[in-house]
Amino acid sequence: MSPPAEEDDFAKMLAEYEGPETGRSKKKRKEPSIGDPVKGRVISIGRDSAFVDIGGKSDGVIDLNQLRDADGNVTVAEGDEIEARVVEVGGPSGSVVLSRVLGRGAEGKAELEQAFQMGVPVEGVVSGVNKGGVEVTIAGVRAFCPISQLDLRHTEDANTFVGQKLRFRITRYELGGRGLNMVVSRRALLEEEQATRGAEVRATLAVGSVLRGKITAIKEYGAFVDLGGVEGMLHVSEIGFQRVSHPNEVLSVGQEVEVQVKKMEKSDDPKRPERISLSLKSLERDPWSDAATRFYEGARAAGTVKRLEQFGAFVEIAPGVEGLLHISELGAGRPLRHAKDATKIGAKLDVVVLAVDSDKRRLSLGLIQPGEEGENVPNEAAHSPTSLGTFADLLKGGKKK
């Protein structure tokens, strides 16, 4: 005798409930043990506790006081993902009791030792700076974090971290005659997070890819850009068509930029398995693309002296377009040993185009003496802004799609 339709419908509903759509598979999951780190999503918030779906047979429960800030406000909402540690199995109503805040005293030290043995991250407040690193207070216990382990890059001023609540991994836990010696590392956690994000980004990276990143460090030869767990190098020559003496003239640490992947090469460094070369310049319009029509022979322009050499001065007559004003043009009939004897960097000069070589990106210029007549370059060229132009627009908002 076949079961009633109601039973069929119920069986179907139960199968759907236990199916992968709800994240509750029939496949038996390993139940968490005390000390296990878990990650789950907040499914409800009560008056004293929050319930967390940790993907097992039982939900996790965590004291709401552990989810409040200094002002007593709850810092999570339903649907948020949190990380915690199992402190009790088979709690109220068979739930798994979770903890994000370590206790104090003997209980706190026992939890710290357990966190060390299991590699569980702990939260601490940077309470001071001392020789070679910073002091971190974790569950009322003082720990030491070497300056090299405070961030992914060398920290110039550790005082900026004082007062911040951060996550650390305990790398040394020793009880001796002088008490507890505990050393922690924040960098270890950051590297793990970076590796996870980096794997996802690497799967999508290719030469020609355009993506946003954040400047993490600036050197004389260029800037390092974090692409989301993967770091690339933006060489000073790829910042823009305009000549840049030092990257900090146009870039700053923390600034977001849109860049294009120019080259990818394998590396022997396990932490950086590839060298990624980036470019801002490739997303700009090449100012030389129409130089021959804008700056034809005999055209006049107003320019600014950018560089001085013994043989002459380089004059910028449009953003990214420079021409050479030979020393013989500067001397006005008198011999000169160096172009600096006749002009200086930043000087405004009226020049005339003598020759154009677009293939080699070269312009030969002559100096216009007061009172000379000639044909001016069209206004959009003669009065081109001396600011970064399209390059500045690129830095502000990225290239418009």
Residues 295 and 382 in one domain: yes
Looking at residue 28, its pLDDT comes to 46
Residues 30 and 70 in one domain: yes
Task: Give CA separation, 151 vs 133, 157, 167, 233, 273, in Å.
Answer: 11, 11, 11, 19, 20
Residues 169 and 219 in one domain: no
CATH, residue 72: 2.40.50.140
pLDDT band at 86 (very low <50, low <70, confident <90, very high): confident
| Nearest-angstrom CA–CA distance, 17 and 10 | 10
Residues 317 and 303 in one domain: yes
> Is 246 domain-assigned?
yes
| Nearest-angstrom CA–CA distance, 49 and 64 | 5
Instruction: Name the 3-class secondary structure at 277.
Output: strand
Residues 315 and 256 in one domain: no
Return mean pLDDT, the chain: 78
Residues 170 and 112 in one domain: yes
Looking at residue 4, its pLDDT comes to 52
> Is 59 domain-assigned?
yes
Res. 131: pLDDT tops 60 = yes
What mean pLDDT comes out for the span 352-364? 83
Domain boundary among 264, 283, 302: 283
> Is 222 domain-assigned?
yes
For residue range 188-246, list pLDDT tens digits in order: 888 888 777 777 788 788 898 888 899 988 999 999 998 888 889 999 988 888 777 78
| Contact between residue 254 and residue 219 where contact means Cβ atoms under 8 Å apart | no
> Token digits for 368?
């216009």
Res. 186: pLDDT tops 90 = yes
Residues 274 and 295 in one domain: no
Task: Give CA separation, 272 vs 18, 154, 229, in Å.
Answer: 42, 17, 10
For residue range 298-332, list pLDDT tens digits in order: 888 888 888 888 888 888 888 778 888 888 888 77
Domain boundary among 155, 190, 225: 190
Dihedral (Cα; 286, 289, 294, 298), 10-degree rounding:
110
Which residue range forms the structural domain that includes residue 259? 204-283
For residue range 19-52, list pLDDT tens digits in order: 444 444 444 456 777 667 788 999 999 888 899 9
Q: Work out how many domains the chain is built from and give that number.
A: 4
| Contact between residue 241 and residue 286 where contact means Cβ atoms under 8 Å apart | yes
Residues 312 and 367 in one domain: yes
Looking at residue 146, its pLDDT comes to 94
